Amino acid sequence: MKYENLAKQIIDLVGGTDNVNSVYHCITRLRFKLKDESKADTDALKNLDGVVTVQKSGGQYQVVIGNHVADVYKAVESVGGFSANSDQNAEQDDEEKGNLFDRFIDLISGIFTPILGVLAASGMIKGFNALFVAVDWLDDTGGTYQLLNATGDALFYFLPILLGYTAMKKFGGAPFIGMVIGMALVYPDIASLTDADDPLYTLFEGTVFASPVQIEFFGIPVILMTYSTSVIPIIISTFFAAKLEKFFTRVIPAVVRMFLVPMFTLLIIIPLTFLAIGPIATWVSQLLGEATTSLYALSPIIAGLFLGGFWLVFVMFGLHWGLVPIAINNIASQGQDPILALIFVHSFALAGAILAVWFRTKNQNTKTISVPAIISAIFGVTEPGMYGVALPLKRPFIITIITSALGGAALGFFGTTGYVVGGLGIFQLPSFIPNEGGIDMSVIGAALSAVGGFVLAFVLTYLFGAVNKIENTVEATETGTDTETDNTTSGVAPSTTDVTKGKVLSPIKGRTVSLEDVSDPVFAQGAMGDGIAIHPSEGEILSPVDGVVETLFETKHAIGLKTEGGLEVLVHIGLDTVNLEGEHFEAHVAQGDNVSIGQPLITVEIDKVKEAGYDIVTPVIITNAAETATMKKTDTKEVAQGDMLLELS
């Protein structure tokens, strides 16, 4: 490990692992919370090769590293044996920010982000495999199909295992404990019991909650459900598992903690999941199935509104499994089923919304993930688009739900009915063709509803999706100019050929301040590099250069850019604002994005940051300024966005 020796020295000099309550990092610093700061050797740390300086502030012992702090942090975490619960996410256990919906979106997005690439790839493989069967290129009983199906479907079938890892990490627990919980949920010998025809007995027989019991746990009945492809059960399980792990870590002696903590955590949480979390989801899904059937009997249009609109939500919670048995039973007993037909439009609505996102977004990562997500959605695989694009952006997800509801109502109006179970997305359409009589209005209506849902979702998302989450300024409202598409609204001209590689423009409007006058000694002493600071009067941060986003910390209080000419520019919004944990900050770009001069980067609510007690002064630093010959700084006291700030040669 490149920074292993440095990490060992830092840990020793802060007083050893036993002196560390927690450690996380911001964009330039390791932020320790020490039990006793007097045990830390500050002078030795300051002189340590690889450490810029040390600062004590706000109850934190800050070891300033520089741009490679993330790599050093990983080494410190590994060498010190600090689990992910020392990370900043763990600091939020008792101080969740935002409303419930925002927190839920943040949670789901954070859990799914690490697997988005392979999720999209798997969805495309599943879709194309279905296409090859539909056009008779492959036989669905042949070996080629089976191998391709395993390749595309493996992630979805074993999704609880992957989510066990990412969710446990999100909750600050040991990821491999989460994986084992996911493995238990899809364990073959347990999963196969759900298909058994001879249960031990049936609980609540004769009611809507009738549940066959295949096994017992110390005499307690276990109500099984299908956990493959499910999302919410594993997330709930890992949430409680992380809490249990932290409890056992506190009470179990260190000498046996390594194996006893995971053992007790698993022994409690896995049976609890099967005994409580699973049954609750099973009963809710059964109730949903009965309610939907009754609603369809009352009004197919209302049933379509309900089922079409909430289908994606049901999938997230695993509740859709309550409808599948009803559909299968309907086809077996009546030769047709109208229930699952009502969900036909949802994947096309999602595809349309994502296509609009692709057109509108300035985030290259979002644009990249959108293409396979669109293809997957058309083929009926919605997870990549839902978790990777629509849900994190919120409005596209809401628009998809509304459009799917309208599509479901249209399907109810046309009387669209399924005659076989099989096929998703575009491949579900043939299942609506009656065995006798050929294509009728119900089939034509289904096709029209799908096209209409796609177009409507596209238009609504394109116009109202707030894909870049940037509101128009007052000037834009007055002039009718949209700041998403016209940077001149903010007073900054688009990048032109006269902007050289050595110039850095002002990213924000405000009053300039000498870097030496900034109250944070790390910036004032030039430890991070040379530059200038600005007391902002507005909260919109624009890109001061053409370049790439090299660093964007999750709290969005600072961003690092690198130009084609090699200049490394750091814009640090406020002092110690990392402690706000992202509150009052909103990022409009992602790490790895290419950005142009004048492009919005971050929006900050200045007044609220000040009310929280933080200095909003914003240093603009060239972190590799020592590699340049000279730096000319503006002598203008008041700068507007786009004014010349620094010139290097």
> Would residue 535 show up in a list of annotated catalytic residues for this protein?
no
Give the DSSP letter string of 191-205.
HGGGG-S--SEEETT
Catalytic residue, chosen from 320, 346, 557, 572, is: 572
Catalytic residue among 26, 320, 346, 584: 26
Per the listing, tokens 């939907």 go with 292
Round to the nearest angstrom and report the end-to-end CA distance of the chain: 36
- Only one residue has tokens 């010190």, namely 80
- Active-site residue flag, 572: yes
Question: By the 8 A CB rule, do 605 and 537 touch?
Answer: no
Contacts of 379 (CB under 8 A, 6+ apart): 123, 126, 127, 128, 130, 131, 347, 424, 425, 426, 427
Cα separation, 305 vs 403, whole angstroms? 9
Q: What is the secondary structure of 442-496 as a DSSP string?
A: HHHHHHHHHHHHHHHHHHHHHHH--TT--PPPHHHHHHT--TTT-GGGGT-PPP-
Ramachandran region, residue 172 (left: φ > 0; alpha: ψ -120 to 50; beta: rest):
left
- Is 557 within 8 Å of 26 (Cβ atoms)? yes
- Other Cβ atoms within 10 Å of 159 Cβ, number: 24
Q: What is the DSSP-derived secondary structure letter of residue 435? A: T
Counting runs of H as helices and runs of E as strands, what totals does the chain give? 23, 22
Phi-psi region of 531 (alpha: psi -120 to 50; beta: other; left: phi over 0): left
CA distance 110 to 112: 6
Q: Mind telling me the catalytic residues?
A: 26, 572
